[in-house]
Chains A and B, each alone.
Chain A
């Protein structure tokens, strides 16, 4: 399976940490997040990421990529997580590119992937619908053949980055509510597409998508047949889940480090807070939680790349573990910062909010425990 050598991975990691440490300070983050353009991220930054090769890291070499896999995407997401990177990496290089790679025809891949690697094309994954919750197989939107193309009607839940994506990957049943689920590349500006733009809990912008008689061309359907894409959607959702876990690992490492530093300098009762054993142990618990998540996420990234039989279960375990860790580390970072942690001015609260998103995107810890429990019971019954 695709993967880079340890040396290449190290170079990728170094490129991320060096560039972001220098160019993505918290001050810069604030300007990008709340700039007058109201996009909530930086277009110039995106172009730079393309130049540095991050956007094509998991794309094939023919598409201008580096030929890596999930592990390499994990390295990028972890680096992004450390700096709360706002640009739409998840929607574009994990989910958008992933959908094209898994479901597209060779022609579609050849045509659509190079602009992603080149930073010319932003995407968002619009699959979930109101009423679906975290269920992955719930699709009520319908795509009907109409002349040379399709007409789509349906409603898609809030997706971060949808407001700025060039293309929305939309799932819809083909012809009837019993039909197979197809994936369609819908231009955001197509007629009949209505966006309701709003900020998420962490301030990142996104949108719900209403499709009313949205007309798209026939080549906008991924694949070339009326093929059911629920299996692809399942795999994409696992990829999305593990990618946000990787992002959370980066964010947890950064916020734990910031908390350690803060407690070493903050004086109370005539000594640094870091001298109090109860606080030392809390910091250790935060570090160990981060370490656990990192280890199991690493195992899951590798299992997905290797395509091992238990890969999905490992990915689910990783999401459950990371969700719990993210909640604990994020909330304790605020707790140990005290009042300062509650201010919008400091980065700590923003890490907390991002970790909360990471905890819930693609299913929270409880949901994954349910899936694991159900799968374990099913496997016992089938034996």
Chain B
């Protein structure tokens, strides 16, 4: 206990300055202004910005150099993410760089690497994740989307759900059942599927945010070349687990949590109760103090994970799961506090204000729609990337040996 040093790495200061200057110089005006107003980006706006980051290789900076990355340490990636957050840049999208990419360069064939990695590095290809199904959520291994071999192709039939950004994606990496007779984890294969393939239908799921982020993806006799399979047939679960472990740590964005807290502080300053700013009410002061304690704790967990990764080459299971559990709970607690302020303004939700070009009359604080949207959206933070309850099962088994 307390043995390893956890101090921040000063060597990254120059890199941070470089990222900061880059954002200042290169972020498109419309991206900047929409971000500042909490408005949502169109695909082409997002794409233009990500492509600029891609010219520097920064989207995939943490990949090993041999696969076209920059060989960043986890700390450097975190510093990168923090600087983007401070500059008001939109969040990075993890499906290609953090999920598909590492699976492809770790388990893929030379042809697959050549074909897919450059598109991820330069953001020429948008990816989405075909994991969950209507009948397979937390019990992911019970998935039933079938792939039947027919010559040099698989014929895929079935349905995926909760597919974030499928409507923007060029490719989907999907888990499919290739052996219905085997034990459920042993009959699964990992396929890379072109979203333009005949037989794929994407249907939007409108969320409680009233936004379109999630989709259902239907596969009807979709032919997928056998060369698009990652690794061995029926070994897909191994690759899927590899990817989920990456997802757990990638799920907490400290810079984002900090910006939420700053936003809620502003909101409490701007909201009156009996004429007095809520931020001066003892109860809200106490709440903010609690959130500050939570943030200090999550930051310490993150620093500790980085130190563990440096020392042992990998984060600890307990630490990574603690970070996911508490990081997501903290985000929800921060946004809940924002909602309590908005109660004083009648809880108006003008979701149209989140789209550029809306010229209605805004009611209440400028932040209202954004805070409510984020509150509703982040309600899923303790569900996506492995629900909190599943995380606890993983710790119980993996770390406590229960």
Residues of A within 8 A of B (CB): 3, 6, 9-10, 13, 71, 74-75, 78-79, 246, 249-250, 253, 260, 263-264, 274-275, 277, 280-281, 283-285, 287-288, 291-292, 294-299, 301-302, 306, 313-314, 317-318, 320-321, 368-370, 372-374, 376-377, 380
Q: Is the CB of A284 within 8 A of B292?
A: no
Q: Is the CB of A321 within 8 A of B293?
A: yes
Give the number of A-B contacts (CB < 8 Å).
Answer: 138
Q: Can you show 6 pairs from A to B with CB atoms below 8 A apart?
A: A274-B402, A281-B389, A287-B399, A288-B322, A369-B286, A374-B285
Interface of A: prevailing SS: helix
Q: Which of B293, B301, B319, B396 contacts A284 (CB 8 A)?
A: B396
Q: Mark B384-402, 1 if CB is under 8 A from A, else 0.
A: 0000010011011001111
- CA separation between A200 and B91, bound complex, in Å? 52
CB-defined interface of B281-313 with A at 8 Å, one 1/0 digit per residue? Answer: 010011011101100110111011000000000
Tell whether B25 is near chain A: CB-to-CB under 8 Å.
no
Taking a contact as CB atoms closer than 8 A, the residue among A246, A249, A296 that contacts B297 in the complex is: A296
Contact pick for A376, options B2, B285, B296, B319, CB 8 Å: B285
Complex contact A292–B395 (CB within 8 A): no
Establish whether residues B279 and A377, one from each chain, have CB atoms under 8 Å apart when the complex forms. yes
B51 within 8 Å of A by Cβ?
no
Which 3 pairs from chain A and chain B are nearest by CB? A373-B285, A317-B296, A372-B289
> What residues of chain B have their CB less than 8 Å away from a CB belonging to chain A?
1-7, 269, 279-280, 282, 285-286, 288-290, 292-293, 296-297, 299-301, 303-304, 318-319, 321-322, 325-326, 389, 392-393, 395-396, 399-402
CB distance from A25 to the nearest CB of B (A): 21
Complex CA gap A300/B233 in Å reads 50
Taking a contact as CB atoms closer than 8 A, the residue among B3, B269, B290, B393 that contacts A13 in the complex is: B3
Residue of B nearest to A280 (CB): B396
Q: Which one, A71, A291, A372, contacts B2 given CB within 8 A?
A: A71
How near does chain A come to B306, taking the closest CB pair, in angstroms? 11
Q: Is the CB of B402 within 8 A of A372?
A: no
- Please, which residue of chain A has its CB at the minimum distance from the CB of B3? A9
Complex Cα–Cα for A306 and B289 (A): 24
- Which residues on the B side are within 8 Å of A260 (C-beta)? 400-402
Select from chain B the residue with minimum beta-carbon distance to A263: B402
Task: Indicate the member of B2, B4, B293, B396 with the most A CB atoms within 10 Å.
Answer: B2
Distance of B282 from chain A, by nearest CB (Å): 7
Asked whether B296 lies within 8 Å of A314 as measured between CB atoms, the reply is yes
> Chain B nearest CB: distance from A76 CB in Å?
10
Q: Which residue of B lies closest to A5 (CB)?
A: B5
Q: Which residue of A lies closest to B395 (CB)?
A: A284
A302 and B7 contact, CB distance less than 8 A: yes
Chain B proximity of A144: nearest CB distance (Å):
40
Name A75's contact: one of B2, B269, B297 (CB within 8 Å): B2
A75 to B5, CA, bound (A): 13
Q: Are A74 and B396 in contact (CB under 8 A)?
A: no
A249 B301 Cβ-Cβ under 8 A: no
State whether A292 touches B301 (Cβ < 8 A).
yes
CB distance from B275 to the nearest CB of A (A): 17
CA of A260 to CA of B304 in the docked complex: distance in angstroms?
A: 24
Q: Is the CB of A298 within 8 A of B6?
A: yes
Q: How far is the CA of A340 from the CA of B30 in the complex (A)?
A: 65
- A302-B5 contact given A264-B402, A284-B400, CB 8 Å threshold: yes
